[in-house]
Amino acid sequence: MKDDDKNTQQMIEALFARLDEWGAKYAAELASVRTDLEEIRKDIRGLQKGQDELRAGQEELRAAAAELRAGQQDLRKGYEQLRNDLNTGLRRVAGKIEILNDNMLTMKADIRDLEVRVEKLESERLP
């Protein structure tokens, strides 16, 4: 029976040794998985931080776009006002040019009348 006990003891020791090997192997693998998991968590936190920065940047872009739209509206209003003022001014200038043209025609007609009268007077003086 002592031989059976010895064999049993050896088998138990071999079994425990194998279990220790497996335990060490799985403990190392578990440590590796935990390390990888921690790296993944750090990466996720970095991605979340980057995502938050992108969101903040997106909000800044939206605000800038709203300012640009407001500026465009102001420019359109200013353009319309300038256009109206310019049209009004051009109508006034056109009216003044028309008056000057009428005055010029009247003066030319008066000059022609005077020239005819001068020619008539000159022809009467000449014997």
User: Domain locations in the chain?
Assistant: 1-127
Residue 8, CB-side half-sphere exposure with 13 Å CA sphere: 5
pLDDT band, residue 126 (cuts 50/70/90): low
Is 36 a residue whose pLDDT tops 70? yes
- Three-state DSSP string of the chain: CHHHHHHHHHHHHHHHHHHHHHHHHHHHHHHHHHHHHHHHHHHHHHHHHHHHHHHHHHHHHHHHHHHHHHHHHHHHHHHHHHHHHHHHHHHHHHHHHHHHHHHHHHHHHHHHHHHHHHHHHHHHHCC
Which of 1-5, 70-74, 86-90, 96-100 comes out lowest in average pLDDT? 1-5
User: What does pTM read for this prediction?
Assistant: 0.47
